[in-house]
A = this chain, B = another copy of it.
Amino acid sequence: MIKKRIFTPGPTPIHPEASKVMAGPALHHRKSEFKEIFRQTVANLKAIYKTTNDLLLFTSSGTGAMESATVNLLSPGAKVLVGAAGKFGERWEGLCKQYGMRTTVIRKNYGESIEASEIAEHMDKDPEIEAVFVQGCESSTGAAMDIEAIGDTVARFPNTVSVIDAITTLGAASLHTDEWKLDVVIGGSQKAFMIPPGLAFISISQKAWEKSKRATTPRFYFDWKREWENQSKWQSAFTPAVNLVQALHQATSSILESGIDDLVANAALLARLTREAASAWGLSLFARRPANALTAIAIPPPLNAEKIVSDLQSTFGAAIAGGQGEMKGKIIRIAHLGYYDSIDLLGLLGAMEVTLSKQKHPLRLGSGVAAALQALVDRLNDQP
């Protein structure tokens, strides 16, 4: 007996209440019943974002919302600064270059984080930079960025906006859009939001709106202004993925019942347990400053990372992620963001031990789980 389980940093497991409405009837997107669901969903998202900024939904992957930021904020030839220490930082670079921006890249080794001080250095040299593009968490390496400090840094420059890919940050790490002065913050449905891929979200500060008014890059599907004219009346310009919106309404309502901080604490706990296990196995984390959203574990030879991934799948039905691009074969990645609990993780860690031991990795069976259990006991003892 093998059950299919997904431990990848998106898609993540679906909340059962969300599954129910996805399997139910589609509402019509111009009728009042759907508009009310849309209104409540946006209100829920804004509570999760901790923002009073306008927030738009797109029927697209997260990359669609990333593209919308590029084309709505900037004109061809605009100066931009991109932080790239992994595949998703490189996606910012690719987007900006594709649309003809003059793109400066802070390029770091994979596993490292982009620092606010590095951004400040570039900005001080060239205050004409119009936008700074970074990740809150680089999902390809499991590295967290200090977006509070980055927001503060960029806010010092009156003509520069911060654009944060928070796709694997929202719901997995602390994020205060308004307090941290983050101009544009992007999320995706298939991460901590516990629904399938297909929806992306973007919050837009007043400063970003002002900039978008002067941006001449052509856009149509991803045009913020047209969407806002519709979404301010709780409908979208084009037909949205209505059942996904209905599912997001359920999932975000469930998240807010216990509070977004609880969801973040849950991801932090599962990340901590996984780090303890990795350490007990004698394996290192790949990221210098590991995120809560996922744990990337370095897999040195003679261990075979791709075989760990495929064995977990074939023997246990558990899907974890390997490395992407040049990290293929060097790391494995285990997700913690969204609908996971400690029993999920303890089961996976047990399966990991069996898989590592099959590759003759010198570990004492149960040692990683024992370390995770100790961390869990400590955490439960900390609670009142």
Q: Give the B-binding residues of A (Cβ under 8 A).
A: 1-3, 5, 20, 23, 262-263, 266, 315-318, 339-351, 353-354, 357-358, 364-367, 369-374, 376-377, 380
- A348 CB contact (under 8 Å) in B343, B371, B373: B343
Count the copies.
2
Chain B residue with Cβ nearest A357: B377
- A354 CB contact (under 8 Å) in B317, B358, B380: B380
The answer to whether B365 touches A377 (Cβ under 8 A) is yes
**Chain B residues with CB below 8 A from A345, complex form:** 347
The answer to whether A370 touches B377 (Cβ under 8 A) is no
The answer to whether B343 touches A351 (Cβ under 8 A) is yes
Which secondary structure dominates chain A's binding surface? Answer: helix
A377 to B366, CA, bound (A): 12
**Chain B residues with CB below 8 A from A369, complex form:** 346, 350, 366, 369-370, 373
**Chain B residues with CB below 8 A from A263, complex form:** 1
A205 to B267, CA, bound (A): 57
The answer to whether A377 touches B348 (Cβ under 8 A) is no
For the complex formed, measure the closest distance between the CB of A372 and the CB atoms of chain B, giving whole angstroms: 8
- A347 CB contact (under 8 Å) in B346, B365, B370: B346
23 contacts between A and B (CB under 8 A): A1-B263, A1-B340, A1-B341, A3-B339, A3-B341, A5-B343, A23-B23, A316-B343, A318-B343, A343-B348, A343-B351, A345-B347, A346-B347, A346-B351, A349-B350, A350-B373, A350-B376, A354-B377, A354-B380, A358-B377, A365-B373, A366-B366, A369-B373
A339 to B3, CA, bound (A): 8
A315, A349, A370, A371: which has the most chain B beta carbons within 10 Å? A370
**Chain B residues with CB below 8 A from A357, complex form:** 373, 377
The answer to whether A376 touches B347 (Cβ under 8 A) is no
A370 to B5, CA, bound (A): 22
Given A1-B341, A342-B316, is A364 in contact with B370 using a C-beta cutoff of 8 Å? yes
A80 to B23, CA, bound (A): 51
Chain B residue with Cβ nearest A372: B350
- A316 CB contact (under 8 Å) in B339, B341, B350, B371: B341
